Structure 1
Amino acid sequence: MALLTLNNVEVVYDGVFLAVKGVSIEVPDKGLVALLGANGAGKSTILKSVSGLLAPERGLVTRGQIAFEGTDILALDPPDRVRKGIVHVLEGRRVFEHLTPGENLLAATSMHRDRARVARLIDQMFTFFPRLAERSRAKAGYLSGGEQQMLAIARALMTEPKLLLLDEPSLGLAPFLVDEIFDIISRINAEQGVAVLLVEQNALAALDVVQSAYLLEQGRIVMSGSAEVLRSNPDIQEAYLGGGVQTDYHAVKHYRRRKRWLA
């Protein structure tokens, strides 16, 4: 059964710009799914349509349905979507830099009334992310990029979500930290049973951990399938994985790259 379903969703900004065009995707219960594509393809917009964060950017779902656990959630505001089990880690981490890691975690617990439960969750996050425990007295603004990303994910997990929306978790990180972050994402999915919808430009890293993926271009889904199917596709290899046959497009005056996405 699908935990999250988007059916023919369209998103418009400022009542004019059509950013997402008839997108349909599914995230299975306890599944791990990636949205791949270049900058401006509409990946982050899809996540915001699920979490309800389009309005501050003057965006609106104008068509289609977004269902979570079989219930349409388009009428729900963001806090109600969090209470249902959807949490969104935005691009750029956005931790509270003047607070310590523990205080950042505590800031995400307004939905929990039981103090003992909150304390257990914080201890669990420090166990899951030992580097945060080591830096527990430091202000979050002094943490490294990788540590801030861990804190952003840990803060999201404090809401005990069923679905974790992750937007570019590898952005700006060194390769060894990218590996560590993706290992953490895999552990969250496997050990806690949290479904993950992952937006990522680093297709090579994403396809190593997800079960399935969707490729977006200019607001449309142009290819979908298992991670192995996408990894072996020659166009994916050429455009996103650094492989395939290289063509000198500048030598061709009116060349328009042939697409084989749907072949």
Structure 2
Amino acid sequence: MNALTLNNIEVIYDHVFLAIKGVSIEVPQGGMVALLGANGAGKSTTLKAVSGLLKSERGQVTRGDVKFMGQDIAKLAPQDRVKIGIAQVLEGRRVFEHLTPDENLIAASAVHGGKADMERNRDRVYSYFPRLHQRRTAKSGYLSGGEQQMLAIARALMTQPKLLMLDEPSLGLAPVIVAEIFEIIRRINRDEGMSILLVEQNAIAALDVVSHGYLIENGRVVMHEKAEVMKNNPDIREAYLGGAEGRDFKEIKHYRRRKRWLA
């Protein structure tokens, strides 16, 4: 069974702008999948169609099916989607800066169980993020960017999700920190069998940890392949993996316009 199935969904903002145009995506139960694409391609909108956060931005799914563990979730409120096991880590971290990491985690734990469950879950989360445990009494606003991203992921884990969706976790971080965070994400997937949908512009980092990838452009999925196949695809390398050595700018622009996967 797939943890997540999007079947031909369309998303419209303000009853006018068609942002997502027939997107279909599958995330296997216990699998790890990347959704790649440039800025404005529709990646974040796709995640919000799953988490239910479109309404606050005057967006809505107007066509297609959104299913989680075989259940149609189109009519569920965002908080109910969290309760059944869907968690989204929003782009830009958005931690509670006036609270400590410990308090951030406690605030996210209200979804499930009592105090004993919270403490056990918090210990589990800190085992993935020992750096956060060291800084657990500091104000979160004073954490580094990488530590805040770790906290955002840790806070999502406190809801005990079955599907974890990460929106640009590498954004604005140094490569060494990106590598550390992606290795933690890989461990979470491996150790807990948690399904993960990873949205990234950093295709190099994403394709190193996932099994499959989808490429979205202008609201449409234009490629779906195994990660290794995507990494070796010359068009993907040219447009997303920095494979333009030795070519002048005009040639690169022309190449990007004619991307063969759109032919």
Q: Structure 2 length as normaliser, TM-score?
A: 0.96
Contact kept? 1:82, 1:159, Cα under 8 Å: yes
Q: 1:241 corresponds to which letter in structure 2?
A: L
1:221-260 alignment runs, 5 A limit: 221-244=221-244, 247-248=247-248, 250=250, 257-260=257-260
1:108-119 alignment runs, 5 A limit: 108-119=108-119
Contact kept? 2:168, 2:199, Cα under 8 Å: yes
Structure 1 gap ranges (5+): none
Larger helix fraction of residues:
2
Q: Which residue of 1 aligns with 2:164?
A: 164
Q: 1:96 corresponds to which letter in structure 2?
A: F
Structure 2 gap ranges (5+): none
Q: Which residue of 2 aligns with 1:127?
A: 127
Q: Which residue of 1 aligns with 2:82?
A: 82
Cα separation, 2, equivalents of 1:190 and 1:113: 24
Residue 103 of structure 1 aligns to a residue whose secondary structure is helix
Q: Which residue of 2 aligns with 1:19?
A: 19
Q: 1:142 corresponds to which letter in structure 2?
A: Y
Aligned residues: 263
**Higher mean C-alpha displacement, 217-226 vs 105-114:** 105-114
Q: 2:212 corresponds to which letter in structure 1?
A: S
Residue 113 of structure 2 aligns to a residue whose secondary structure is coil
Q: CA RMSD in A?
A: 1.8
Contact kept? 2:244, 2:252, Cα under 8 Å: no
Contact kept? 1:234, 1:244, Cα under 8 Å: no
Q: 2:145 corresponds to which letter in structure 1?
A: G
Residue 98 of structure 2 aligns to a residue whose secondary structure is coil
Contact kept? 1:48, 1:54, Cα under 8 Å: yes
Cα separation, 2, equivalents of 1:233 and 1:30: 26
Contact kept? 1:238, 1:246, Cα under 8 Å: no
Cα separation, 2, equivalents of 1:110 and 1:252: 51
1:36-55 alignment runs, 5 A limit: 36-55=36-55
Cα separation, 1, equivalents of 2:85 and 2:61: 20
Cα separation, 2, equivalents of 1:124 and 1:254: 50
Cα separation, 2, equivalents of 1:208 and 1:170: 13
Cα separation, 2, equivalents of 1:220 and 1:246: 31
Query: Once the 2 structures are TM-superposed, how far is the Cα of residue 112 of structure 1 from its aligned partner?
Result: 2.3
Cα separation, 2, equivalents of 1:47 and 1:256: 26
Q: Which residue of 1 aligns with 2:200?
A: 200
Q: Which runs of at least 4 in structure 1 moved beyond 2 Å after TM superposition?
A: 244-257
Contact kept? 2:239, 2:256, Cα under 8 Å: no
